[in-house]
Structure 1
Amino acid sequence: VLNGVLADAASATPTASTPATKAAAVRRLGRALVRLRLLGGIHGEFTFETKTGARTLAFERGTVLSVAGSDVTVRATDGTTWTWVLTSASIVRENGSRTSAKSLAGGQLVFAAGPVSGTTRDARLIVIRNAAKQQQS
């Protein structure tokens, strides 16, 4: 599975020149983030080499501490706290459907993932997890 994540992410070239090429790159990055979600784990970063240079993807499972403007702060169960930045490319999902970033609130269980640039973690995907389902499993 990890090889598939890296292959999809590596082919998602951020400097694509045409709208069709950019759209294809976004789809590949989306597939990479979904596969990353399936890997499990609490939080982590993966750095890999692409044709255009090194790229890093990060993910975190935890509880939303705060939502302030475009910043969403999430704390994992081991205490790791990262701030994720919502962008125009961010996708928020709840109960299997796409929803607005306005649905994010403190106390929610979430999965956040996206590319890292310097110290900034872009939230390309945030999945709001159902607390009832989490307690059953």
Structure 2
Amino acid sequence: MNKKIIGGVSAFAIAVVGTGVYLAVPASAGASGHPGVKAADGAKGHPMRGVRGFRGIRGVHGQATVRTKKGFAQVDWQRGRLTATSGGTLSVRSADGVTWQWKTDDKTRVRKDKAKSTVSQLATGDFVFVAGLDAGGARTAKRVVVPNKVPAQETASPTPSHS
């Protein structure tokens, strides 16, 4: 295919995804009052580079395929209650009842009480945001954040849905 066509299709896809993220971010997100994605961290081209931006999204869990310098990578994210920690594995249950297992390693970055922390300092019952890579169904946590404020939806009982 022509490089101009591929470039145009890529730009369109980025615009569509960007618009979706913009519409999904609450107006109150971000300390500066801007409803955008926070500044990225990490090495250029790394699949977890923009993980801070996921925290502003209202969803409870999800997946995205991202392009890196080394090819494509599947990035997963989840927010919910930490239900168990055992042998380098975290179990997180989202508000909709979905429970995912996350492997941790020495590269897993943890933030708790606005400071760097460790996986061993996470406690069952903590409300967490986890993001990491998906390699064939095995999720590896790269970032775990315990926010200072627990969203109101997490403290209230879920309302029954009508179908």
TM-score band, normalised by shorter chain: 0.7 to 0.9
> Percent identity of the aligned residues?
31
Partner residue of 1:112? 130
RMSD across aligned positions (CA): 2.7
Shift of 1:25: 4.5
State whether structure 2 residue 79 is matched by structure 1 residue 46: no
Query: Does 118-127 or 42-51 show the bigger shift?
Result: 42-51
Q: Which residue of 2 aligns with 1:8?
A: none
CA radius of gyration, larger in = 2
The unaligned stretches of length 5 or more in structure 1 are: 6-22
Bigger RCO (CA 8 Å, 6+ sep): 1
- Provide closer, same or farther for how the CA distance between residues 51 and 71 of structure 1 changes in structure 2, counting only shifts above 3 A: same
Q: Match for 1:103 among 107, 110, 121? A: 121
Matched residue SS, 1:35: helix
Q: TM-score, normalised by structure 1?
A: 0.73
The number of residue pairs the alignment matches comes to 117
Task: Looking at secondary structure, tell me which structure has more strand per residue.
Answer: 1
Give the C-alpha shift of residue 41 in structure 1: 1.1
- Deviation track 1:53-77 (CA, whole Å, cap 9, x = no partner) reads 3211110000011000110000000
Report the 3-state secondary structure (helix = DSSP H, G, I; strand = E; otherwise coil) of the residue aligned with 2:59.
coil
**Structure 2 residue ranges without an equivalent (≥5):** 1-14, 22-41, 154-163
Q: TM-score, normalised by structure 2?
A: 0.62
